[in-house]
């Protein structure tokens, strides 16, 4: 019997990185997966692989910064599976991949809209259905950079990524308190630097990679599967008395 046997999980950002690893891991533990991603092909491939392995999954394309898309993603999950037991807000961006012609304000708006507003809207719309069952688990992807600043010399203090992830941390705590009596748990994961598409421009540079590895006491960066395993725990009934926590999965980074 799987740790998420029969539970329905809606995962944003499921087409790559931590979201993709979580979708596969959740499915292997018995969850029914709605894989949502801005990239329709990536979401479809994840869902197809899950089905090929004997699981149940459907895919949808959507932009979490758009309310209509968020409503579609939630509605499709309900239509396909009848309920939502777990929401994993994994969709996220970094200004490193914003178009060069964008100014600082447009980059800030874009990152906040995806990382913070998107997580807010997905949670707000999903909770409407969870409240009916008085049960549910929301896991938000924050970051250690939502708890501490970037190392000196790494950024100039105006990078919107830590601003967005700090917002996710506080949103998680406040939602957890507000939803506790409705039987809904809300927690966040704060990963250290992990090998994903979002960090590729950093990890491809040997000097930057050496610097980042040296910042983690374990001497290495994380793998998506290691973060997915923590998400699985928070999503499962094993974490039934855990809400409002921000779990660091960071190789010791924030213990220094």
Residue 208 lies in a domain: no
| Number of domains present in the structure of the chain | 1
Residue 203 lies in a domain: no
Please report the pLDDT score of residue 35 as a whole number: 98
Of these residues, 97, 120, 150, 161, which one is catalytic? 161
Structural domain boundaries enclosing 70: 8-196+223-251
Residue 214 lies in a domain: no
Query: What is the rounded average pLDDT of the residues 21-45?
Result: 98
Banded model confidence at residue 29, pLDDT cuts 50, 70, 90: very high
SS3 60: strand
> What's the pLDDT tens digit per position in 161-213?
999 999 999 999 999 999 999 999 999 999 999 999 889 999 999 999 999 99
Judged against a pLDDT cut of 90, whether residue 155 lies above it is answered with no
Residue 207 token pair: 């000097």
> What is the domain-level CATH number for residue 89?
3.40.50.720
Q: Long-range contacts made by residues 99-106, C-beta under 8 angstroms, separation at least 24?
A: 104/158
Residue 255 token pair: 């213990």
Q: Which residues pair with 87 in a beta bridge?
A: 10, 138
Pick left, alpha or beta for residue 218 (phi over 0 → left; psi -120 to 50 → alpha; otherwise beta).
alpha
97 is catalytic: no
Judged against a pLDDT cut of 90, whether residue 75 lies above it is answered with yes
Please report the pLDDT score of residue 153 as a whole number: 84
Q: Taking all residues of the chain, what is their mean pLDDT, rounded to a whole number?
A: 97
Banded model confidence at residue 10, pLDDT cuts 50, 70, 90: very high
Cβ neighbors of 148 (< 8 A, separation 6 or more) are: 254
Query: What is the rounded average pLDDT of the residues 107-124?
Result: 98
Please report the pLDDT score of residue 254 as a whole number: 97
Query: What is the rounded average pLDDT of the residues 23-28?
Result: 98
Pick left, alpha or beta for residue 190 (phi over 0 → left; psi -120 to 50 → alpha; otherwise beta).
beta
Q: How far is CA 32 from the centre of its chain?
A: 17
């Amino acid at each position: 019997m799987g740790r998420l046997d029969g539970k329905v999980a809606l995962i944003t950002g499921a087409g790559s990185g931590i979201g993709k690893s979580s979708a596969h891991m959740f499915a292997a533990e018995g969850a029914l997966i709605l894989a949502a991603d801005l990239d329709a092909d990536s979401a479809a491939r994840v869902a197809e692989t899950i089905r090929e392995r004997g699981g149940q999954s459907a895919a949808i394309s959507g932009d979490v910064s758009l309310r209509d898309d968020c409503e579609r993603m939630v509605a499709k999950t309900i239509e396909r599976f009848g309920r939502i037991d777990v929401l994993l807000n994994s969709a996220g961006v970094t200004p490193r991949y914003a178009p060069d012609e964008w100014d600082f304000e447009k980059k800030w708006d874009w990152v906040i809209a995806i990382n913070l507003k998107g997580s807010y809207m997905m949670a707000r719309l999903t909770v409407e259905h969870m409240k009916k069952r008085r049960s549910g688990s929301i896991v938000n992807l924050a970051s250690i950079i939502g708890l501490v600043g970037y190392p000196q010399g790494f950024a100039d203090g105006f990078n919107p990524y830590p601003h967005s992830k700090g917002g996710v941390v506080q949103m998680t705590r406040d939602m957890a308190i507000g939803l506790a009596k409705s039987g809904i748990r809300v927690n966040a994961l704060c990963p250290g630097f992990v090998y994903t598409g979002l960090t590729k421009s950093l990890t491809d540079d040997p000097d930057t990679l050496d610097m980042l590895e040296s910042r983690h006491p374990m001497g290495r960066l994380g793998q998506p599967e290691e973060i997915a395993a923590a998400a699985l725990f928070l999503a499962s009934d094993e974490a039934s008395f855990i809400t409002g926590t921000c779990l660091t999965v960071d190789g010791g980074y924030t213990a220094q």
